[in-house]
Amino acid sequence: MSAKRLRPAAWGVVVLLAVLLPFFFNAYRVGQFTQAAALAIAVLGLNLLVGYSGQISLGHGAFFALGAYASAISITDLGVPYLLTLPIAGAVCALAGFLLGLPALRLRGLYLALVTLGVAIATPQIIKRADGLTGGTQGMSLDKITAPAWSGLADDQWLYFVTLAVAALMFVVAGFLVRGRVGRALVAIRDNEIAARTMGVDLARFKIGVFAVSAMYAGVGGALFTISIGFLAPESFPLALSFAFLAAIVVGGLATIGGALFGALFIEFVPVYAADVDEALAGVIYGGVLILFMYLLPGGVMGLVRRISSTKATPRGTDDAQAGAGHRLGGGAADAGAARERVRAQ
């Protein structure tokens, strides 16, 4: 089977498993899968930014929080039906992402990372201070979502399918985005800005644009995550969440669409199991698993998938420029950097 046919087949299997899943687990587990699907949307958003366009954000937890609160406040204070709060959360976060994207025009690498880190550090404090709106440290409770009678589903199953449907839509959109002209422009910016500009890529437009889209994904993810849990407080969005998103895109595979799924499952489940092994050592175990993972699968889960499918199919996929681009990424970006270093050294 060629890689061209393998890809739809693989996605078919993923979708089938995802649809069958809630019928084989209890409500709590289904809830965890719902949260993983919500996280996957945010992780995908970050991967568009970091993996494809090469800009680093350490502050996506802040967009996730913003989306969560935008949704929660719309539901409780404005009485908006929960599904309609998703576009609201997305729009609010897209605007915030646009504003935060402005410095990205001037700042690069670590400097941009620091700006976004500042936002992530400030977020829990800001939520606490704005207690008239956010409930402060007491947090906010949301009513449980009930499944409509016609669906014949339990509440948790219904919410899972809603989240899954939104996630599927967001994945398809992202897939089209990176496969076309936009994706090529982003990758060009990542690999060599000067070359990209020479080829006629409007750097400012794409850089800010991808920041806004990425923030929108994080916001929608945050909204769904919160609706699923039914409670949010400043502690829901610690600094560590932003780093968990970064870990997720690397675990899943940089500059891949499918990787976000694996990354999200990783950050949803591994910490829980680590705490089950030993409460006092949970952090150590989580960290250890992460290190081990990177040693064994440096290209992330999707790197492994690619390696397997490329040995089975034609070794060099001529059909798939994107896969090549993604494959190059970790190495590719580093190579470009190394080349630049060499030039400077001379």
Nearest CB to another protein, comparing residues 32 and 310: 32
Give the total of residues touching another protein (CB under 8 A): 21
Question: What is the identity of the amino acid at 127?
Answer: I
Residues in 240-279 that interact with another protein by CB under 8 A: 275, 279
The answer to whether 311 contacts another protein (rule: CB under 8 A) is: no
8 Å CB contact between 333 and 190: yes
CB-nearer residue toward another protein: 131 or 202: 131
Distance from C-alpha of 287 to C-alpha of 25, rounded to nearest angstrom:
28
Q: Which two tokens stand for residue 149?
A: 């009678």
Which residue among 1, 17, 280, 345 contacts another protein (CB under 8 A)?
Answer: 280
Examine residue 144 and tell whether it contacts another protein (CB under 8 A). Answer: yes
Q: In the complex with another protein, which residue's Cβ is closer, 142 or 177? A: 142
Is 27 near another protein (CB under 8 A)?
Answer: yes
51/234 with CB nearer another protein:
234
Q: Which of 1, 8, 20, 28 binds another protein (CB under 8 A)?
A: 28
Options 138, 151, 198, 314; binder of another protein; rule CB under 8 A: 138
Instruction: Choose one: 36-44, 75-83, 231-239, 252-260; the region binding another protein (CB under 8 A).
Output: 231-239
Least distance CB 168 / another protein (angstroms): 25
Q: Is residue 29 involved in binding another protein (CB under 8 A)?
A: yes
For residue 29, count CB atoms less than 10 angstroms from its CB and return exposed for 0-12, middle for 13-18, buried for 19 or more. Answer: middle
77, containing H or E segment: helix 60-78
| Owner of token pair 């880190």 | 117
Phi/psi-derived region of residue 264, left when phi > 0, alpha when psi is between -120 and 50, beta in every other case:
alpha
Of 91, 153, 229, 239, which one interacts with another protein (CB under 8 A)? Answer: 229
The torsion region of residue 144 among left (phi > 0), alpha (psi -120 to 50) and beta comes to beta
Q: Which is nearer to another protein, 136 or 175 (CB)?
A: 136
CB of 169 to another protein, least distance (A): 27
Q: Rounded CA gap, 16 and 80, in Å? A: 32
Residues lying near another protein in the complex (CB under 8 A) are found at: 26-29, 31, 137-139, 141, 144, 229-233, 235-236, 275, 279-280, 282
